Structure 1
Amino acid sequence: MANIEDHVVAEVKNDQIQRKPRILCLHGFRTSAAILKKLILRWPENVLDKLDVDFLDAPYPAQDKSAVEGIFDPPFFEWFQSDKSYTECYNFEECLEYLEDYMIKHGPFDGVLGFSQGGVLAAAFPGIQRDGVALTKVPKIKFVIILSGAKFGGGILIGIPKLAEKAFSIPLECPSLHFIGEADFLKEEGIALLSSFVDPMVIYYPEGHTVPKLEKEGEETMLSFIDKIQELL
């Protein structure tokens, strides 16, 4: 009998180990889910095979010309809006409601991945949920992956939406992986964001504001991070 019970327990543990982390992926400013998916799917198969990724379009059509126009096909979207000086943010609460509704219908999600404007959102998720000011109807995310990200109140995003006012008031214990490009105009913002997380992991890459392919060192860091978050599932 003991051998049968041990076998059952072993099978259950094996199933738990094999479950892939479900990740909600948030694209960049005035791009789209299809664009981010195309870029992410360039990553090595041994990384992608360990992830269950879901790509979502932002709720608002791009209000102006996209930087990727002519490179990728439209339509293009944005998660929230700002004035030209980036001191005022608009539709942020509505954006979070949109995300929460999607997470309720298509989740649960273990983590969030975000690039650029999507990375700003992803970075704020843990603090917003910790403070209970939004995203309260869905389970707390277990980790974030931030590519070319920044935080509200930084050098480029001066304005801070009310719901994110205290998101970075204390270091976040949520496991995080940060991609920082050496030629990225948001490089300094991305480096400054690291101090908002406890024990962040970082992948540096030589390119600018883009989703990079994973070279050997980055691939190893990514696989190490996946091993780390696998223990949280």
Structure 2
Amino acid sequence: MGSEGDEKRIIKKPRFLCLHGFRTSAEILKKQVNKWPQSVIEKLDLVFLDAPFPCQGKSDVEGIFDPPYYEWFQFNKEFTEYTNFDECLQYIENYMIKHGPFDGLLGFSQGAILSTALPNLQEKGVALTKVPKVKFLMIIGGAKFRSPSGRQIF
């Protein structure tokens, strides 16, 4: 038994910024993650963010999940050229500044690609320079960025 002076130990839940997949949304990722065991979800503080760009084509989840759908960035067929990538990085950093701090990133599909790249870009001083370092990652269904030569970028 503790004495009167003992204080209860407060454990802070790790806070994750959750980045959804290509041509989906924060709401869709939230529905998917909420299927996880409650014992996992209750240990995390999850914040879901919609990507900055409206979907520029047909979403693979049409008919399964309701719109609207969003994209983090666009890419060519070979995944070697990217459009709106810098704007996407700035959008995420601005959100983290306004709504943070965040301990980690959770990413699904295109959001997983970003979540994997961001700590490396942060370490190089290219992205997320105005927010605390990303400490944790949860990656679901990711891939790698490639350069025009086919080499892995990160």
Q: What CA distance in whole angstroms lies between the structure 2 residues aligned with 1:159 and 1:146?
A: 21
Aligned to 2:92: 99
Given that residues 28 and 115 in structure 1 are in contact (C-alpha distance below 8 angstroms), is that contact kept between their aligned partners in structure 2?
yes
TM-score w.r.t. the length of structure 2 is 0.91
Q: Is the 8 A contact 1:89 1:159 kept in 2?
A: no
Counterpart for residue 183 of structure 1: none
* Structure 1, unaligned runs of 5 or more: 169-233
What's the offset of the Cα at 1:4?
6.7
CA distance in 2, matches of 1:159, 1:55: 31
Query: Deviations for 1:80-117, whole angstroms, at most 9, x for unmatched residues?
Result: 01123322101111001000010011110000000000
Q: 8 Å contact 1:61–1:76 — kept in the other structure?
A: yes
Q: Give distance in 2, aligned partners of 1:24 and 1:103.
A: 8
Q: Which of 32, 37, 43 is the aligned partner of 1:44? A: 37
2:120 paired with 1:127: yes
- The 8 Å contact of residues 86 and 159 in structure 1, kept in 2 or not, is answered as no
1:86 & 1:149 partners in 2: Cα distance? 13
Contact 1:96-1:134 at 8 Å conserved across structures: yes
Percent identity between the aligned chains? 61
Higher relative contact order (Cα pairs below 8 Å, separated by 6+ residues): 2
Unaligned 5+ runs, structure 2: none
Give the helix-richer structure, 1 or 2: 1
- Equivalent runs, 1:149-160 vs 2, <5 Å: 149-153=142-146, 158=150
- Equivalent residue, structure 2, for 1:61: 54
SS for the counterpart of 2:59 is coil
Which one of the candidate residues 141, 149, 152 is aligned to 1:148? Answer: 141
Displacement, 1:74?
0.5
Offset at 1:126?
A: 1.3
| Partner AA of 1:123 in structure 2 | T
* Structure 2 match to 1:87: 80
Q: Distance in 1 between matches of 2:22 and 2:87?
A: 17
**Whole-Å Cα distance in 1 between the matches of residues 78 and 126 of structure 2?**
26
- After TM superposition, what 4+ stretches of structure 1 lie above 6 angstroms from structure 2? none
Q: CA RMSD in A?
A: 1.8
Residue of structure 2 equivalent to 1:137 = 130
Q: Distance in 2 between matches of 1:113 and 1:159?
A: 25
Inter-partner Cα distance in structure 1 for 2:151 and 2:54: 21
**Which amino acid in 2 is paired with 1:147?**
I
* 67, 70, 73: which one aligns with 1:74: 67
Cα distance, 1:150–1:60 mapped onto 2, change above 3 Å: same
SS of the equivalent of 2:106 reads strand
Aligned length: 150
In structure 1, C-alpha distance between the alignment counterparts of 2:108 and 2:70, rounded to whole Å? 13
Instruction: Provide the residue aligned with 2:102 in structure 1.
Output: 109
Cα offsets for 1:162-215 (capped at 9, x unmatched): xxx4xx3xxxxxxxxxxxxxxxxxxxxxxxxxxxxxxxxxxxxxxxxxxxxxxx
